[in-house]
């Protein structure tokens, strides 16, 4: 760090004023005094020259963890591995979380959520609602496939007194109940054409008529819809209104299937193990390396819901501390249901260990009042801690596959094994 035209302290102050992102400075090994000066400024972290890739990644990780720590402690937001109850840390899920935040800021436009069965479409809809200005009002879910056709109309729109035999008093429909809030229409592709026309009026005119009613009722409801069907194909077959399709899909959201984000499987397993073990008052069980590999290679046609069901199943029927491959139900062991190992390795992207881009750094909410001069930092201890965290992250990403974890960390497998042994890490830790 050479600044012949500007005193170092002045330059550091100027940088501190103009950025909230962490700044990493590379210094020669003998620059102890300069290192102390730099560390007195809140955005700065130091790395000693010459450094290898792993050392730099650890320091970067330390800077980002420090940023995240202050964001969480000050704003009491969720851990970075989940968002509004949705668990995931893969690049595709981080992109989804960012899209949800953007959608929530505009609480008027309709949203069409697409995804296979079991991917968590209602969770995404709830996340949009709870992140929006409508969060204090009702979130009203309606499964269009679960309610018989002859009842769905009155469930959605309500009915007036005397609308039909037995209608002795009027009844509020779910659309009106969602006034000021959010209406979530799951499996919208199953809605019949006559109801599609009535829903279109709600979206266009912001009003509806109850069954048997004569007077339109104004309503301020944001509509979120979801489907696992190909709506474009239904439109081409005349089974779904084209005008309604375009009204619904103002903002399309695609949820990735579990097989496309295998790196999130260990996080989901940990989440479900904790939930169901706590319910039953037992210690969470762990999976052997081989069992974890089977779960990572499994094709998960039922997506997250199927994984949750499996963990619940194991928490009830498995009494031991470790689940081996032989303990898994047969279909999770059959080779025909598992993807090739090469496909697994390819799907566990290195991006899961990547450093966030500059926009992501700016979103971390780094605190202006962070002052490292108020804390004593044992650099050796901090680096050791973050090396441990990085190793655990690699093992979580690869489902405990040490060979692949070593590859992600650019270490020899034997070196990684030595570090795991030295740090006394066990499968329970990842």
Contact in structure between 341 and 297 (CB atoms under 8 Å): yes
Q: Which range, of 22-31, 124-133, 137-146, 317-326, averages the lowest pLDDT?
A: 22-31
Could you please state the CATH topology (level 3) that the domain comprising 259-429 is classified under: Helicase, Ruva Protein; domain 3 (1.10.8)
Contact in structure between 80 and 74 (CB atoms under 8 Å): no
Average pLDDT score over residue span 76-81: 50
Per-residue confidence (pLDDT) for residue 106, from 0 to 100: 87
Q: What is the tens place of the pLDDT at every residue in 225-243?
A: 999 999 999 999 999 999 9
Domain residue ranges in the chain = 8-75, 94-255, 259-429
Per-residue confidence (pLDDT) for residue 353, from 0 to 100: 45
DSSP string, 81-144: TEETTEE--SHHHHHHHHHHHHHHHS-SS-EEEE--TTS-HHHHHHHHHHTSTTTTS-EEEEET
Residue 12 φ/ψ, nearest 5 degrees: -65, -40
Average pLDDT score over residue span 154-164: 84
pTM higher than 0.85 for the full model?
no
Q: Which CATH number fits domain 94-255: 3.40.190.10, 3.20.19.10, 3.40.50.300, 2.40.240.10?
A: 3.40.50.300
Q: What is the tens place of the pLDDT at every residue in 53-64?
A: 665 666 676 666
User: Which ranges constitute the DSSP H helices of 218-264?
Assistant: 231-236, 242-248
Highest mean pLDDT among 42-51, 373-382, 417-426: 417-426
Percent of the chain, pLDDT > 70? 74
Q: Which range, of 90-99, 228-237, 374-383, averages the lowest pLDDT?
A: 374-383
Contact in structure between 404 and 343 (CB atoms under 8 Å): no
pLDDT at 303 over 90: yes
């Amino acid at each position: 760090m050479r600044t012949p035209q500007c005193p170092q302290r002045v330059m550091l102050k100027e940088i501190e004023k103009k950025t909230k992102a962490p700044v990493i400075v590379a210094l020669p090994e003998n620059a102890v005094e300069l290192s102390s000066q730099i560390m007195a400024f809140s955005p700065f972290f130091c790395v000693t020259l010459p450094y290898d890739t792993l050392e730099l990644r650890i320091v970067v990780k330390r800077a980002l963890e420090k940023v995240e720590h202050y964001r969480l402690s000050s704003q009491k937001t969720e851990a970075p591995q989940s968002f509004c109850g949705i668990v995931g840390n893969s690049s595709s899920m981080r992109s989804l979380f960012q899209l949800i935040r953007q959608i929530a800021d505009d609480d008027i436009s309709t949203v069409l959520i697409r995804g296979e069965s079991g991917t968590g479409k209602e969770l995404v809809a709830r996340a949009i609602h709870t992140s929006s200005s409508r969060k204090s009002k009702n979130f009203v879910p309606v499964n269009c496939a679960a309610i018989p056709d002859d009842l769905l109309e009155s469930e959605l729109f309500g009915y007036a007194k005397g609308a039909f035999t037995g209608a002795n008093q009027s009844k509020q429909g779910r659309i009106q109940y969602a006034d000021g809030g959010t209406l979530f229409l799951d499996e919208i592709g199953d809605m019949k054409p006559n109801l599609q026309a009535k829903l279109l009026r709600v979206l266009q005119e912001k009003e509806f008529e109850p069954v048997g009613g004569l007077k339109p009722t104004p309503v301020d409801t944001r509509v979120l819809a979801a489907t696992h069907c190909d709506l474009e194909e239904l439109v081409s077959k005349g089974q779904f209104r084209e005008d309604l399709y375009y009204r619904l899909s103002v903002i399309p959201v695609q949820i990735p299937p579990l097989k496309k984000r295998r790196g999130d499987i260990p996080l989901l397993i940990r989440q479900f193990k904790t939930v169901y073990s706590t319910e039953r008052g037992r210690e969470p069980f762990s999976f052997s390396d081989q069992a974890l590999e089977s779960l990572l290679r499994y094709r998960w046609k039922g997506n997250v819901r199927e994984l949750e069901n499996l963990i619940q199943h194991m928490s009830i029927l498995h009494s031991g501390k470790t689940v081996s491959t032989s303990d898994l139900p047969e279909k999770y062991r059959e080779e025909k249901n598992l993807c090739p190992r090469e496909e697994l390795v390819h799907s566990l992207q290195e991006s899961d260990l990547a450093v966030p881009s500059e926009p992501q750094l700016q979103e971390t909410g780094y605190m202006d009042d962070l002052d490292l001069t108020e804390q004593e930092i044992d650099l050796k201890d901090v680096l050791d801690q973050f090396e441990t965290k990085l190793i655990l992250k690699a093992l979580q990403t690869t489902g405990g596959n040490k060979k692949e974890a070593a590859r992600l960390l650019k270490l020899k497998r034997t070196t990684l094994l030595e570090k795991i042994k030295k740090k006394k890490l066990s499968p329970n830790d990842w």
